[in-house]
Amino acid sequence: MTTTPSSKDRLIFALDVPDKSEAQRMVKLLQDSVGCFKVGLELFVREGPDILKLIKDHSSAEIFLDLKLHDIPATVRGALRSAAKLGVKYITIHSTEGEAILETSKEVKDSGLEVLAVTILTSMGETQLHDLGSNLKVGDVVLDRAFRARQSGCNGIICSGEEISSVKQKCGDTFKVVVPGIRPEWSQIASDDQKRIATPRKAIQAGADLIVVGRPIRDAVDPEKAARKIVAEIEESVKQ
């Protein structure tokens, strides 16, 4: 039986902080306001798996280990086996190399660890893709990678707010769509590197299962208030 997640459970906070003392401060502050903490490269490279224990000691939220694994299949398979022992809910792998890497997700099938494939980073727009020599449209590439990820056994993908509805249409409703590049109307991020952005409302209404928010919460004057505002926006968007 599938249960509908609460609005809070649909908010993932990107714990993009330099070390464990700052991580502990943010986890304590936000433990009641977000459903999941995302540990990325900055924190994991510095603190290692101990950081996951710290989060578990201070909160009952899920943990998303966003390592964006990108290597030969045997290495990614090994990394997934190791990650499955860490008690995290989500992990990311890259989708650029096609099925050979996407199929590594089968290694941890039924372990409780969900593998999400990164399609095209939300910091990439059409111009950046063309600068790399591709004439393809971002939306078409995302859709193709999403479909391959689904066929290869991944649990879901990461894409921007712009591709959610086409991915849901092609890959089905149970295939998880997780969306970073979220910018509430009230947020102001200096020198923002995100290109394909969406508000929480737009992402949820388009069918995002989960949204990832970092700087709009982390850099807010009152991070807890910012997280609660986003949860309220998710709640309203579900009702509309």
Q: Which is nearer to ligand C5P, 113 or 157 (CB)?
A: 157
Residue 189 C-beta-side C-alpha neighbours within 13 Å:
18
Least distance in angstroms from the C-beta of 66 to ligand C5P = 6
Bridge partner residues of 197 (DSSP): none
Active site residue 8: no
Total residues at interface with ligand C5P (CB under 6 A): 16
Least distance in angstroms from the C-beta of 1 to ligand C5P = 30
Cβ atoms of 104 and 73 within 8 Å: the answer is yes
Strand, helix or coil for residue 156: strand
Q: Which is nearer to ligand C5P, 161 or 168 (CB)?
A: 161
What is the pairing mode between strands 36-39 and 62-69? parallel
Q: Which residues 6+ apart lie within 8 Å of 63 measured at CB?
A: 36, 37, 38, 39, 52, 55, 56, 87, 88, 89, 90
Least distance in angstroms from the C-beta of 164 to ligand C5P = 13
- Per-residue mark of binding to ligand C5P, 6-35 (x: CB under 6 A): --------x-x-------------------
Which residue of the set 20, 68, 106, 170 is catalytic?
68
Among 140-148, 166-174, 210-218, 226-234, the segment contacting ligand C5P (CB under 6 A): 210-218
Give the helix/strand (H/E) hosting 68: strand 62-69
Least distance in angstroms from the C-beta of 118 to ligand C5P = 5
Q: Is 40 in the site for ligand C5P (CB under 6 A)?
A: yes
Cβ atoms of 115 and 80 within 8 Å: the answer is yes
- List binders of ligand C5P among 82-141 (CB under 6 A): 118, 121-122
Q: Which of 145, 146, 129 is nearest to 137 (CA)?
A: 129
Report the interface residues with ligand C5P, using CB under 6 A.
Answer: 14, 16, 40, 66, 118, 121-122, 158, 180-182, 194, 212-215
For the annotated catalytic residues, the residue numbers are 68
